[in-house]
Amino acid sequence: MTKIKRFFYNRRVVRYYRKGKAYLNNLEYLKTQQESKKEILKKPSRTTIINYLLSLKKGDTTYLEIGVRNPEHNYNHIIANIKYSVDPGIEFKKNPVDFKMTSDMFFDKLIKDEILTNKIRFDIIFIDGLHLAEQVDRDIENALKYIKDDGFIVLHDCNPPTEWHARENFQYKNTPAGDYWNGTTWKAFLKWRGNSSVHSCCIDSDWGVGIISKHHPLGKSITTVNTFYEYKTLEKNRKEHLNLIDFESLKQLF
């Protein structure tokens, strides 16, 4: 390397070092990292919560999971008599599911009686597919048509600990949340929290496990709405707006 090239190269290295150091020591960055660490230590897991809800049912149980990825992480551990899975196979190449398609396609075919039977009713539908508000909202609306009257809709990722976890863009990982991503599922869940025809709560564990029921009194709907779905408003009113409760409190409801 010539002297002149080395001079400019060294300046660039120093600039990168300074910028990197400032980024890694930034309070927002450190706080976000702390929040990720706190969240991954919380218990129980979504799997335990779903299995608990299934255990309340008498007789044979039927379970549907939307968005499966690696079934070893949840699906294979769900205890139900009949199980079905839906995933277009975006994140896990093997994609060993029953219906290799999007949730929209699945519900469209189900309603037309092209798959299973449109008379089917599930004890639990676990929505964990595309984590964007509009899609999750549609998944909830469709799922409500296919759960039993005393069934549950369960949703993963309803309680993002920071706005970086709640970013829209899954692909962009240069944020303080890094690989962790809850997307905007919380907005769809919050919208349904405002609907008085359903009961809902969110378990404060595993990034927020939302539960919706037509029948079980899980919690009253809210009238104060975060009209513009601002993250800061969620942060200030998290407990009330999401009806955030711990697992023990959920058990006491039954």
Burial of 100 (0-12, 13-18, 19+ CB in 10 A): middle
Cβ proximity to ligand SAM: between 102 and 162 the closer is 102
User: How many angstroms separate the Cα of 154 from the Cα of each of 29, 32, 128, 131, 218?
Assistant: 31, 26, 9, 13, 12
Query: Is 87 one of the binding residues for ligand SAM (CB under 6 A)?
Result: yes
Q: Give the binding-site size for ligand SAM (rule: CB under 6 A).
A: 21
Stretch that binds ligand SAM, among 29-37, 90-98, 212-220, 244-252 (CB under 6 A): 90-98
| Shortest Å, Cβ 95 to ligand SAM | 7
92 binds ligand SAM (CB under 6 A): yes
Instruction: Name residues contacting ligand SAM, limited to 105-164 (CB under 6 A).
Output: 128-130, 135
Could you say which DSSP state residue 197 is in?
A: T
Q: Are 155 and 140 in contact (CB under 8 A)?
A: yes
Q: Please say whether the beta carbons of 140 and 13 come within 8 A.
A: no
Mask for 40-59, x = binds ligand SAM (CB under 6 A): ------x-------------
Nearest to 185 by CA among 224, 159, 147: 159
Per this entry, what is the length of the chain?
A: 254
SS3 180: coil
Residue from 32, 62, 74, 185 that binds ligand SAM (CB under 6 A)?
Answer: 74
Contact between 73 and ligand SAM (CB under 6 A)? yes
Candidates 13, 40, 79, 90: give the one binding ligand SAM (CB under 6 A). 90
- Note the residues at the interface with ligand SAM (CB under 6 A): 46, 65-69, 73-74, 86-92, 102-103, 128-130, 135
